[in-house]
Structure 1
Amino acid sequence: MILRLDALGVERNGRALVRDLSLEVGAGQIVGLVGPNGSGKSTALRCVYRALAPTTGAVLLHDRDLTALTRRESARRIAALTQEGGSELDFTVAEIVALGRAPHLRGNQALGAREQELCRRAMTQLDVLHLADRGVLTLSGGERQRVLAARALVQEPEVLVLDEPTNHLDIRHQIELLTLLRASGLTVVIVLHDLNLAAAVCDRIGVLAEGALVAAGTPREVLTARLVRAVFGIDATVVPHPLTGDPQLLYSLGAPA
């Protein structure tokens, strides 16, 4: 296992946000976290990219506690695309993407030819190369999200952590981003609200409710009508995708009043 959450617990102001969470992520796997709002998904991710220190337990990278690594070493090995990843400064897109190389450079060291090519390739993959000279504050929410995803790729991490990365993206760019993740070979931990997208992209899924892991396994094992009803409080019909066999959830809004 590359990454392991070992009995992870997070408490704040006397409230348990994450409780005894244990989850393993193998090399090259995409592992998703799903669950209702407030179930602890983002809190758990913050422990992985060290924005938050666990109260109990640990996050292990190659069986080594992350807290034993320097911040720079962690940043070289784990990249994050977070919900709070925006910038209030009007850097250009190219400048924002280039920041992904910061953990690998010393001081104000200029980008070399290899770094510049990494940035160009990532901007091309995320369809933002044509925006390279634009100020990031002039972009739409979806365009900014793709710029931040490019920055994370440029970091060349072992582990990529993404918290609701499809927010603000149109359906084309949602599919392109998730397809890129599948093809990247990276080890990925991702929070998604769209259960159908989670079923399509994830090798394994962990379901959280009230801070605790209530189910873990492949999408076919986890995404059942019974679990969706128990965890999310809604009725869904689960059918296999006609091409892939992945579970797909069909919802009803109920009869009109």
Structure 2
Amino acid sequence: MELTLDGLSVVTDGRSLVRELSLTVPSGQVVGLIGPNGSGKSTALRCVYRALRPSSGTVRVGEEDLDRLTMRRSAQLVAAMTQDGAVDLDFTVEEVVALGRTPHLRGNHALSGREQELCERAMDRLDIRHLARRGVLTLSGGERRRVLLARALVQEPRILVLDEPTNHLDVRHQVELLSLLRDSGLTVLVVLHDLNLAAAACDRLGVLSRGRLVASGTTGEVLTTELVDEVFGVKASVVAHPLTGHPQLLYSLNSPL
């Protein structure tokens, strides 16, 4: 299912946080949003998972205006893993993962056998089955983020939205998580700060600066020395990964600030 942001703008307290953002995430592709802190990436994502209503413009899932769907229906189509990943109650890991089925349940019905199997498979994929009976508040930040992604997958969305999903993860779990996204078959919009991970994981990139989309295209088209310097203020050499050919950035710590 295709995701379209069409002329999206967000103005709050007289400040333009996102300005006329138009971006398409083709069905089944992974599109990354990159840009400096405060460039509007998380704000744009909040509009997609309906935590924030845009001041103008629309978000469409397929041919449908997201704002015209019921919250239940939009939750069946779009799952989100937010930046903070706050969990206030000390549910067990398996209870938190099972909450992903909430948009599909009627009343207080128990999970079906298929749904229980879905939860177990998601915990296996995220390497958290051994934590199933642990209270989620006892987990490390990285473990908790894997629990929240498992919950999102259990939701069986068509579109997955993730805000800095690799935060707190060790290298192994960063690579596994991004590999999972690439192989999921879902339409994915993800915010990443690590440009090399973005280059490896994403089919296309959109670059935000001061709320505006300043570049979009394939990773090779977007990640150039000139753009990284202009948008991020960093001098970097761009080389091809020896195995995949994806662009990789080499930074110099001696670059002037």
Unaligned runs of 5+ in 2: none
* Residue 192, structure 1, aligned to residue 192, structure 2: yes
- Does the 8 Å CA contact 1:97/1:151 hold for their aligned counterparts? yes
Any idea what the Cα deviations from partners look like across 1:74-132, whole Å, max 9, x if unmatched? Answer: 00000000013221110000000000000000121101100000000000000000000
Matches within 5 A, 1:161-172: 161-172=161-172
Matches within 5 A, 1:176-215: 176-215=176-215
- Give TM-score scaled by structure 1 length: 0.98
* Residue 27, structure 1, aligned to residue 27, structure 2: yes
* Residue 158, structure 1, aligned to residue 158, structure 2: yes
CA distance in 2, matches of 1:250, 1:70: 46
RMSD of aligned alpha carbons: 1.1
2:63 is matched with 63
Report how many aligned residue pairs link the two structures.
256
Runs of 4+ in 1 over 4 A off after TM superposition: none
Q: Alignment partner of 1:122: what SS?
A: helix
1:174 is matched with 174
CA distance in 1, matches of 2:107, 2:252: 55
- Alpha-carbon deviation of 1:255? 7.7
CA distance in 2, matches of 1:78, 1:109: 22
Q: Alignment partner of 2:85: what SS?
A: coil
Any idea what the Cα deviations from partners look like across 1:122-169, whole Å, max 9, x if unmatched? Answer: 000000000000000100000000000000000000000000000000
2:130 is matched with 130
Which amino acid counterpart does residue 144 of structure 2 have in structure 1? R
Q: Alignment partner of 2:239: what SS?
A: strand
2:85 is matched with 85
Q: Alignment partner of 2:57: what SS?
A: strand
- Give TM-score scaled by structure 2 length: 0.98
- Alpha-carbon deviation of 1:2? 1.1
- Does the 8 Å CA contact 2:234/2:255 hold for their aligned counterparts? no
* Residue 43, structure 1, aligned to residue 43, structure 2: yes
Q: Alignment partner of 1:33: what SS?
A: strand
- Does the 8 Å CA contact 1:86/1:144 hold for their aligned counterparts? no
Which amino acid counterpart does residue 239 of structure 1 have in structure 2? V
1:246 is matched with 246
